[in-house]
Amino acid sequence: MTAPVSIRLARADELTRVQEIERAAGALFEGQPVTLDDGEPTELSELEEAWRDGQLFVATHEDDGVIGFAMLGEVGGHAHLWELDVHPDHGRRGIGRALLEYVCQAAAEEGYRRITLTTFVDVPWNAPFYRRAGFFELRGEAIGPALRELLVQESRWGLDPDERCCMARELAAGSASNG
């Protein structure tokens, strides 16, 4: 891939492509020592809501179209990264990190001082990836009631809470931190 990757807000006609990327990225979990939910991508209605709210971002390549995405929201008064996926055909090229930095910048520009997420503790492209990007694990009372409730909801979806963690990254006012 020689052409540059661009990151921008998603368009309505790209939502099914986002689901395709999510399915393809989910296949990477086969053989990992984690419990997955049903493996179905995010409901189209949820993607439409994120798109309408300006919280769905895509990485695009001029030859291949949409190759990755990130979906933001809010949990407990903080920006929350619900999902970040790059199509496996384009993995390990810094696209996920670029998407992450872009959404952190977008969250900071919206006035958020922190971004949170939940992820798998031991999957290399999950918690270890986010640690390298300046996130830290929240433990005990630092998790807070909203993220704690999200972990309970995830367990209802079939995710093992012992395999999950909550993470956060502080954001500088008006710009992404240099985590």
- pLDDT tens for residues 40-78? 778 889 999 999 999 999 999 887 789 999 999 999 999
Residue 176 lies in a domain: no
Containing structural domain, residue 112: 5-170
Beta-carbon-side half-sphere exposure of residue 168 (alpha carbons within 13 Å): 17
Whole-model pTM above 0.85? yes
CATH number at residue 143: 3.40.630.30
49 C-beta neighbours (distance < 10 Å), count: 14
pLDDT given at position 177: 39
When divided into structural domains, the chain yields a total of 1
Number of H helices, E strands in the chain: 5, 7
pLDDT given at position 172: 85
Residue 177 lies in a domain: no
β partners of residue 6: 60
